[in-house]
Structure 1
Amino acid sequence: MLAMRGGRIVAEYTRMLGYSLLVKPGTARAQVKAVLAHPVALQEVKPWLDREMPTVERRPAASAGAAAQEVAGAAAPGLAAMGPPAAARIHGLVALAQGIEEGPHNVTRWWVIGREVPPPTGHDKTSLRLRTSERAFGSALQALAGLTGRVLAIYERPGRTTLDGHVYLIDLAGHAAQEPLKSFLDANAGFDLLGAYPRCY
């Protein structure tokens, strides 16, 4: 989304994540010697692994899909992956345990991408993109501080053009078509509008 041109965030929704312990068919839990998962997933399932499989090796993978693919292609039955049920269907695996670390703390926000920004609802969020250097970011924060709306979140990603360049995603309370955000965006061309949409939370 940070690199996209033309599209807009038109909605957001949250989804609770749950992990399953995925293995090749016919593999018993006692045979599992190593579990593969994305590093974030390994942290989220750590309490379950500590309790249920404390001696198993934990290996990071690039993604849940990559972990499931490696398990599916392994010659020996000693590997397992932590991932969603869809990964099992795609890679021909089975779940030995389901719903691991499913809870209110394990929720991911998703965006719906469209063309037209929806009209204000009275309870909205605006997402902006700012490409700037570390030095100039302080001035950008001062400009944001002058808004009467609340800054909800700031996320940083590498700019990939200079060593000190960054791309910031900034979520603000309010709708880009309404004041004070409308005047702010008119006066600050460095902030790109990614979308304005009803707030989910």
Structure 2
Amino acid sequence: MNLSVAHLGPPGTYAEAAALAYVNWLTRETGQQSLLCPYPSIAQTIKAAAQAQAHLAVVPMENSVEGSVTMTMDTLWQLSGLQIQQALVMPISHALLSKATKIGDIRTVYSHPQALAQCQGWLEKFMPSVQLVPMNATTEALHYLEEDYKAAAIASSRAAQLYNLPILACPINDYPDNYTRFWVLSLEPSPGGSHTSLAFSVPANVPGALVKPLQLFASRGMNLSRIESRPTKRSLGDYLFFIDIEADARQPSVQSAITELTKYTETLKIFGSYSVVSV
């Protein structure tokens, strides 16, 4: 039976490229065949795996320029049961796609908010007067370009090939070292690895509410490679925290820290331990 792998669509997105890289690796390692399943949003992609509509979901988690993808974080917190199978780090190179004869003719640029933000400096320099329109995916608006010669989209060079669209400029991202980390999610137990991700809320917003949980890891010599807050959406100033630990949750020291962590947290979710690979 083929594995179904959910990702943000339409075809040609960076999430699809990450999903392709993962399933190609899976085929080489295990011989398992996979079927890619595009979804119209990151939230729906994650829910497809959480509701067993797909075996796996590949979603963007963090960009080296623009930071975390909040939709991924918020949706993962709201759902239960999903575990990280692997993290994929992929270089991102943005291109300007359009049927306009020259950049000066373009009046509107479409793309995902992350892509627009990653190209903000270039757009301000070369296209300061264009209207920027955020979309659910980098490829969502490509069909507009067939008829509107004053429109453009920021997407990948692969998307230009898939949709037979000209590239007017590439790369246009502000920083050459532009990487996105994707998570492979599943209802299956996590396999273990070099990193562990978790999230928690604290009982009350009082002094020391965050310090005590963090000291549990510092006292055991564990490095935190990421810590980020997100609003709980219950009240202003009420936050939950996402943490990445450079250790495997199966290690006794990590298990001890997590056990003690429950004393200081209101809700604690362990998303599993996994390896990080470059694709």
Range class of TM-score, shorter chain: 0.7 to 0.9
Q: Which residue of 2 aligns with 1:132?
A: 202
Q: TM-score when scaled to structure 1? A: 0.77
Residue matched to 1:150: 223
CA shift in 2, pair 1:41/1:133, >3 Å: farther
User: What RMSD in Å do the two structures reach over aligned CA positions?
Assistant: 3.1
Letter of the 2:271 counterpart: L
CA change 1:136–1:193 in 2 (3 A) is farther
Retained in 2: the 8 A contact 1:175–1:196?
yes
Q: Is 1:169 aligned to residue 239 of structure 2?
A: no
1:32 maps onto 2:106 in alignment? yes
* Alpha carbons of structure 1 residues 132 and 69: separation in structure 2 relative to 1, 3 Å: farther
Describe the superposition over 1:139-158 as per-residue Cα deviations: whole angstroms up to 9, x where unpaired.
23322213221121112222
Deviation sequence 1:25-75 (CA, Å, 0-9, x none): 4x2124213333344433432444455x345424141444476258448x6
Gaps of 5+ in 2: 1-75
Q: Following the alignment from structure 1 to structure 2, what is the Cα–Cα distance between the partners of residues 92 and 28?
A: 15
Deviations 1:67-122 (A, max 9, x none): 6258448x6421111122465577774432333338652101011123122245xx
TM-superposed deviation, 1:187: 2.4
- Which letter does structure 2 place at the counterpart of 1:193? I
Range moving further from structure 2, 1-10 or 125-134 = 125-134
**What residue is the counterpart of 1:7 in the other structure?**
82
**Identity level (%):** 23
Q: Secondary structure at the match of 2:234?
A: coil
Q: Which of 130, 147, 153 is the equivalent residue of 1:57?
A: 130
Shift of 1:185: 1.3
SS of alignment partner, residue 99 of structure 1: coil
2:182 to 102, 110, 116: 110
The code of the aligned residue for 1:15 comes to M
Counterpart CA distance in 1 for 2:204 and 2:142 is 39
Does the alignment pair 1:45 with 2:119? yes
Structure 2 match to 1:141 = 211
TM-score by length of 2: 0.58
2:269 is the counterpart of 1:192: yes
Q: What SS does structure 2 have at the residue aligned with 1:181?
A: helix
**Structure 1: distance between partners of 2:198 and 2:207:** 14
**Residue identity opposite 1:13 in structure 2:** L
Count of aligned pairs: 194
Structure 1 residues 185 and 62 mapped into 2: Cα distance closer, same or farther (>3 Å)? Answer: same
Further displaced range: 89-98 or 162-171 = 89-98
CA distance in 1, matches of 2:206, 2:260: 16
Deviates more, 1:161-170 or 1:143-152: 161-170
Quote the offset at 1:14 in angstroms. Answer: 0.4
Which residues of 2 match residues 57-136 of structure 1 at below 5 A? 57-65=130-138, 68-69=141-142, 71-72=144-145, 76-85=148-157, 87-88=159-160, 93-101=165-173, 104-114=176-186, 115-120=188-193, 124-132=194-202, 135-136=205-206
* Higher relative contact order (CA closer than 8 Å, sequence separation 6+): 1
What letter is aligned with 1:44?
Q
- Return the letter of the residue paired with 1:143: P
Is the radius of gyration larger for structure 1 or structure 2? 1
1:47 to 1:164, Cα distance in 2 relative to 1, 3 A: closer
Change (3 A) 1:70 1:4: same
